[in-house]
Structure 1
Amino acid sequence: MPARKNSLQTDQIRSAVDAVVAEVEVIESFGKVIDHIAELSDLQINRFGICVVTADGDVVTGGEADHPFPIQSISKVFALTMALEAHGDDVWKRVGREPSGDPFNSIIDLERMKGVPRNPFINAGALVVVDMLLDREKPRHEDVAAFLAEHIGSDEFDVDPEIFDKEAKGGYTNRALANLAKSFDNFHHEVDDVLKVYVRQCAIALTCRQLALAGRYLMLAPPGGRKKTSIEEAHRVRRINSLMLTCGQYDGAGDFAYRVGLPAKSGVGGGILAVVPHVASIAVWSPGLDDNGNSLLGTIALERLSERLGWSVFGNLPPKDV
């Protein structure tokens, strides 16, 4: 009987994913591509992919779920996880936990906060987190790529060389943020060393399938599930999810929480990683962005998927008929 229940739930997810893909295909407003990364500016903005990985291990895909894209700022979630594993709550002595209310690359806000970034998902916060990663002794994972390889179960992904080269040679605003943090003694390593690691993790290219697999740990195992999760890990994941909900969508986090109701982190490559605690990990991709820098079709798809399946951290509802 339990097997029948799990199968039925997977069928419902598959039907919902198919319906969302069909709806997205007829939407005529796709958003705009990021303009400061030339390698992303030529993408067809109506492209779309989605993957849902359930707590039982089922994988449901739709659209271009196996097309790789640079994860960009989604990498900040994995870097933060590694920093918290290594340093615990000491991370919060150098990075805040509040939404910024300013652009993700604001220099003014960092100066106002005397070198302490508002949260780990804006660029200044992510750079300080990478600086912390370089302080680790005998790290479990060498870098974000190694972390991803373990959680995906495969290292068959690449760093986009064109994006890495461009951002490594340029990235002047990030360089300015790092130097300003260093001027306030909130940076321990050389700016170029940190930037190289940061740009490399942002240029990692994953498919929706790989990204959803990588995010499985964020949903935690369901109560009574086979995978045992330590109390320490559970607390860490809950805190990361809370920051994804409040800070994960740049200045669109409040609207995203209202419309979708799930912890999520976006990237300007068009990807979004979302989490349904104890239930599923979801990755969507579409390169057209809204005014806040979040995937326009990706956000719409997650909104409609959460409505169809009744998923929300604010209280689940019965699934709608597909």
Structure 2
Amino acid sequence: MTSNFKSIIENAYQHTKPLKDQGKLATYIPELANVNPDKLGVHMTKIDGTSFGVGDHLEKFSIQSIAKVLSLALAVKFLGEKIWTRVDVEPSGTKFDSLLLLETYKGIPRNPFVNSGAIVICDILISHLENAREEFLEFVRDLSDIPNLTYSDNIADSEKATGYRNVALCNFIKSLGNIKNDPAEVLDFYFDMCSLEMNCEQLSRTFSFLANGGKKLNDGKKILTSSQTKRLNALMLTCGFYDESGEFAFKVGLPGKSGVGGGIVALYPNKYTMAVWSPRLNANGNSFKGMKLLEDITTHSEMSIF
């Protein structure tokens, strides 16, 4: 890791930490309302294997929707192009849990990263794997090199108890013919998937295969083809931040994905992966300070894909 990058990240952290945080915790998931809102961490993993972190980068948090990229990777790995008949690849321009466009597009979600799209991906995995819940967990354990990674029952139960919008989405898509399995089983898997917890260091390492042409850093194991990797990165750039994806591309200029736990993962192909965490969310459901921190880093490092 060049000292130059270290100083840019450290400076960005020192600049972002004292900012007045205009965001709010995701209190609609009761378990996430208990998190210390003042946490801030960032970790970078370069594809030469070196890494560096600042702040609360070793404290675990709920990755939430960031897991949608991993479930999509598993679906693409197994099914390839066939999945695009069930879910589209367009930005939604609406909230992440919106039902509005589902009727217009006859139950085909706009992209795999809005809740409806991720629910359809869960349905696809249930149809094509013997035990989707376990096989997805094994897949992420392998990617992350965390052999004891497990779902958080507290967070999953908290979401199951209050996830009425997601229940509505799943049932609505079922009524339009694009959910093949029992909605209760699909939702169960979806809530478990979103309950995974990692720290910034683990998250940046887990996603490094997408910065490395689809291959794991530590052993070169091929996870996706370079073409599939390119497509996932393109989707993260255009759809990774809900109704703020254009803003993120405009200000940060990297493919990435956010989660309502306050995490963001972003990457520069063939160079690095970076994860940030700050729990307070802006009006679009993205980490307020996380967005600022990444913008600061790419502005001063001049390391955006543009």
TM-score, normalised with respect to structure 2:
0.94
Q: How many residues align?
A: 305
| Structure-2 change in CA distance of 1:139 and 1:279 (3 Å) | farther
State yes or no: 1:300 paired with 2:283: no
Q: Which residue of 2 is the match for residue 164 of structure 1? A: 156
Q: Which residue of 2 is the match for residue 89 of structure 1? A: 81
Q: SS in structure 2 opposite 1:159? A: coil
Q: SS in structure 1 opposite 2:267? A: strand
State yes or no: 1:28 paired with 2:20: yes
State yes or no: 1:50 paired with 2:58: no
Structure 1: segments with no counterpart, 5+ residues: 1-8, 315-322
State yes or no: 1:19 paired with 2:7: no
Kept in 1, the 8 Å contact 2:125–2:132? The answer is no
TM-score, normalised with respect to structure 1:
0.89
Structure 1 position 107, deviation (Å): 1.3
| Structure-2 change in CA distance of 1:89 and 1:217 (3 Å) | same
Q: Which residue of 2 is the match for residue 185 of structure 1? A: 177
Kept in 2, the 8 Å contact 1:221–1:227? The answer is no
Q: SS in structure 2 opposite 1:143? A: helix
Q: SS in structure 2 opposite 1:312? A: coil
Given candidates 102, 105, 116, the residue that maps to 1:110 is: 102
**Cα distance per residue 1:166-191 (max 9 Å; x no partner):** 21233111111111111121111101
Given candidates 267, 289, 294, the residue that maps to 1:275 is: 267
**Cα distance per residue 1:105-139 (max 9 Å; x no partner):** 11121112110000000010000000011122468
Give the aligned residue type for 1:94: R
Kept in 1, the 8 Å contact 2:213–2:229? The answer is no
Q: Which residue of 2 is the match for residue 318 of structure 1? A: none
Structure 2: segments with no counterpart, 5+ residues: none
The 1-side partners of 2:13 and 2:206 are apart by 22
| Structure-2 change in CA distance of 1:311 and 1:140 (3 Å) | farther
Question: What's the C-alpha RMSD, in Å, of the aligned pairs?
Answer: 2.2
- Higher Rg of the two aligned structures: 1
Kept in 1, the 8 Å contact 2:126–2:132? The answer is no
% identical aligned pairs: 36
Given candidates 139, 147, 164, the residue that maps to 1:147 is: 139
Give the aligned residue type for 2:94: D
Kept in 2, the 8 Å contact 1:55–1:221? The answer is no
**Cα distance per residue 1:242-263 (max 9 Å; x no partner):** 0100000011101110000000
Structure 2 counterparts to residues 209-228 of structure 1, below 5 A:
209-221=201-213
State yes or no: 1:250 paired with 2:242: yes
Point out the more displaced range, 144-153 or 278-287. 144-153
